[in-house]
Every structure is written in structure tokens, then in C-alpha cells.
Amino acid sequence: MLTRRSALGLLASLPLAPRAFAQPRLSYDLTAKPLADGIWMVEGATDYFSMENGGAIVNITLMKGDSGLILVDTGSSRRHGEALNTLARSLDIRGISTVVNTHHHPDHFFGNQVFADRPIHALGGTRQAALDEGDAFADNMYRLLGDWMRGTEVVPPSDVIAGGDLTLDGRDFLALPLGGHTSADLALMDRRSGTLVAGDLVFYNRAPTTPSADLPRWQQALDALQAAKPALVIPGHGPADPTGDSITQTRDYLSWLDRTLREGARAGLDMVELMETPLPDRFAGMGAQPQEYQRSVAHLFPGIEREELPRGN
Ligand SMILES: [Zn+2]
């Protein structure tokens, strides 16, 4: 008969199980997809941050400049930034000449420290938000991604830019200083190709994230992006889009989200009941659903409930 003691002894004598399944390999497998004239996109996974993806959930854009490559957004960690640096050198031996951050969410700027000796451009509001919220984001990212984050330090963007005509390393852009996804969201239109690097103002087949969102302002930003008539949209998350459908889809989702939360508040639903609301088919298949919708309820419902409930006096 197998006693408890002998069973424990047996367990102790077993060879150590292979740990590969439990230990992620901690290396990013990045590829650069050519999209247009001197433009590549490194496409992120459409999931939420996980130990499996190491936070490589964001789209990164690389564009040819006069003295090297322009990098738009730097990834989720020092390690992610280093992998982008290596990938850039395989496209252009001179590597990355200049950097832009579209906004201050950690997956878009936590690779900055790798490029700290080069100019890192962003809107003033993005620099300030990175200074204000960077450390809190870092705590959360270390909790979500553990060893993937090792050695990552928060390096806010160094060079503040405004809207309008902008030349970066000899390449001409229209800079659109917008907001709504966060307090400051930069979109960049490449003059040569009509490619719009939209940052997280646009998500495509991946649910938009709302921890810093102002929904009416976000809708206005989408109007401005549509008015720019891009030939190709590179969303912050999801595939590149030559049709403009990504802008329409983001608008549709945000309108539906706002309407659903307002109707829920008026009907007296609580947060848990709203989180259990089934998603319409057109949104249910997006990446990171229904979790992203549930996070949005948590972010947005308390404010919307205050606006919608009749005031007692
Ligand atoms: Zn974002």
C-alpha cells in the first residue's frame, strides 16, 4: 500500500519535469511587414498582456528617414525595445535615427530607454502624462508580465512637438494633435504615401481599450482622421487597413459602448449585470473580448451612472 510518506518519497525521486511549458522563453519573435514606400509595420498580437505574448500586443511602425529609420512607438519593455532595435538594423544597417511616441500607454513607450540617446518626440500632454502615470503603469506591467519586464525603466519622451507640418529625419508628415483615447494622442500622416499612423485612436478587429478614455473627444478625433483621407491606416492594434473600415469600426464600437452603458444606468443595472450583457455579433469576435468590454464597464460606468441618474434634492 502506498502510504503518504512513501508517496511523497516517490514524488521526490521523480526526475524534474521539463519546465519549458511553465517558463516563457522571454524572447520576442518580431517581423517587419513592408506596407508602403519605405514603411514597415511590426504587428502585435490582438490579445491582452500575458506571459505568453510578453506584452508584444502593439503595432509598431518603422519608416525610412535620411539617416536611418523613424520608429513610431517602442513596445512594452526594455527587452521589447531591444528586439525592435535589432530588427531595425536588419532593415537598415544605420538603425533607428529618431523616435515618436503616439501616447503614454505603457505598450507604446516602455521601450524608450533603449533609444534614450536619440530624440524621442511626443505631444506635450503625452510627456506630462508619462511623467505623472508612468510609475503606476510600471507597477502594473511588472505584475502582469514579470520577468519580461526585467530592467525596464520609465523614460518619458524628451522632445515636445506640436501639430501641423512636421519633418522627422528628412521625412514629411502632417502631425494631428488629438485626444480621447488618452488626454493626448498623436496621429501622423506620412505625406509621401498617405499612410496614417493612428496610434490607439484606431483599433481594428481588436476591442478598443478605455482606461484613460473621453468618448466624445475620441469621436471628434475619429472625424479628424477620416477627414485626412488616408490611403492606408495603421491602427494601434489590429491589421493595417487600406479601406478606412478600421475608423468606422472604432466609431461604431465606441458609440455602442456609450449607448449600452447609458441605457444600463437608466434601467438601474449594476456593473456586474452590465458586464454579463452579451456582445453584439459584430463585436464579439474582436480580439480581447469580452474581457476588454468588461474592463470598459469598470472604467466608464461609474462616471456615466453619475451623469444618467436623476439628481435628488
Ligand atoms: Zn493606448
SS3 163: coil
- The domains located in the chain, with CATH, are 28-244 (3.60.15.10)
SS3 171: strand
SS3 64: strand
Contact 216, 255 (CB under 8 A): no
Ligand 1: centre distance to CA 209 (Å): 7
Ligand 1: centre distance to CA 236 (Å): 7
Greater model confidence, 157 or 37: 157
For ligand 1, a single-atom ion, the residues with CB < 5 A are 105, 200
Ligand 1: centre distance to CA 91 (Å): 27
Confidence label for 10 from pLDDT (cuts 50, 70 and 90): very low
Ligand 1: centre distance to CA 101 (Å): 11
Residues 6+ apart with CB under 8 A from 296: 207, 208, 209, 210, 213, 257
Q: What pLDDT, on a 0 to 100 scale, did the predictor assign at position 310?
A: 72
Q: Residue 132 — φ and ψ, nearest 5°?
A: -75, -40
What mean pLDDT do residues 187-215 have?
Answer: 97
Q: What percent of the chain has pLDDT over 70?
A: 91
What mean pLDDT do residues 190-214 have?
Answer: 97
Model confidence at 181: pLDDT above 90: yes
What mean pLDDT do residues 11-25 have?
Answer: 50
Ligand 1: centre distance to CA 287 (Å): 15
Ligand 1: centre distance to CA 243 (Å): 22
Ligand 1: centre distance to CA 185 (Å): 9
Greater model confidence, 25 or 258: 258
pLDDT tens digit string along 101-132?
999 999 999 999 999 999 999 999 999 999 99
Cα angle for residues 125, 127, 128 (degrees, 5° grid):
65
Contact 256, 238 (CB under 8 A): no
Burial of 130 from C-beta contacts in 10 A (0-12 / 13-18 / 19+): buried
Model confidence at 91: pLDDT above 80: yes
Side-chain-side CA neighbours of residue 283 (13 Å)? 24
Ligand 1: centre distance to CA 12 (Å): 47
Mean pLDDT of the chain: 92
